[in-house]
A and B are shown apart, each in its own frame.
Chain A
Amino acid sequence: MNNKDNQVAQKDTQEPGHLERTRTRPVFAPHVDIKESEGELTVYADIPGVPEEKVDIMVEKGILTIRAEVPDPKEVNRGFSRMVEEYATGDYERAFALSDEVDQDGIRASVRNGVLEIHLPKAGPAKARKIEIAGD
Chain B
Amino acid sequence: MIGLRQNLPHISSHWNPVSELANLQRAINRAFDSHVGRPSAEYPALNISANDHEAVVTAELPGVDPAGLEITVRGTTLTLKGERKETSVREGEKYHRRERPAGAFSRSIELPYKLDSENVQASLKHGLLRVVLPRAEGDKPRKVAISS
Q: Does B131 contact A (CB under 8 A)?
A: no
Chain A 58-94 interface residues, beta-carbon cutoff 8 Å to B: 73-75, 78-89
Residue in A closest to B63 when the chains form the complex, CB atoms: A115
CB B45 to nearest CB in A, in angstroms, measures 4
Q: B98 contacts which chain A residues (CB < 8 A)?
A: 33
Binds A, one of B2-10, B16-24, B34-42: B34-42
Q: Compute the total of residue contacts between A and B using a CB distance below 8 Å.
A: 129
* Distance A12 CA – B34 CA, assembled complex (angstroms): 7
Q: Does A111 contact B (CB under 8 A)?
A: yes
Beyond A13-B34, A36-B94, A86-B36, whether A47 also contacts B127 by CB under 8 A is: yes
Q: Does B136 contact A (CB under 8 A)?
A: no
Pick from B45, B62, B92, B93: contact of A115, CB under 8 Å: B62
Q: Does A32 contact B (CB under 8 A)?
A: yes
Residue in B closest to A99 when the chains form the complex, CB atoms: B96
* Distance A37 CA – B48 CA, assembled complex (angstroms): 42
Q: Which of B40, B49, B98, B101 has the most CB of A within 10 A?
A: B49
Q: How large is the interface on B (under 10, 10 to 19, 20 to 34, 35 or more residues)?
A: 35 or more
Q: Does B50 contact A (CB under 8 A)?
A: yes
Q: Does B60 contact A (CB under 8 A)?
A: yes
Q: B50 contacts which chain A residues (CB < 8 A)?
A: 1, 80-81, 83
Q: B89 contacts which chain A residues (CB < 8 A)?
A: 35
* Distance A33 CA – B48 CA, assembled complex (angstroms): 29
Mask for A15-50, Cβ within 8 A of B = 1, else 0? 000000000001000011111111001001011111
* Distance A45 CA – B96 CA, assembled complex (angstroms): 13
Q: A48 contacts which chain B residues (CB < 8 A)?
A: 60-62, 126-128
A80 touches B56 (CB 8 A): yes
Beyond A1-B50, A1-B52, A3-B51, whether A111 also contacts B126 by CB under 8 A is: yes
Q: A79 contacts which chain B residues (CB < 8 A)?
A: 51
Q: A88 contacts which chain B residues (CB < 8 A)?
A: 35-36
Pick from A38, A80, A86: contact of B37, CB under 8 Å: A86
A114 touches B45 (CB 8 A): no
B interface residues, Cβ below 8 angstroms from A: 34-40, 45-52, 55-56, 58-66, 87, 89-90, 92-101, 124, 126-128, 130, 141
Q: A32-B100, A46-B127 given; name 11 further pairs at CB < 8 Å.
A: A26-B35, A32-B99, A33-B95, A33-B97, A34-B96, A49-B60, A73-B58, A74-B56, A81-B50, A114-B62, A115-B127
A interface residues, Cβ below 8 angstroms from B: 1-3, 12-13, 26, 31-38, 41, 44, 46-51, 73-75, 78-89, 111, 113-115
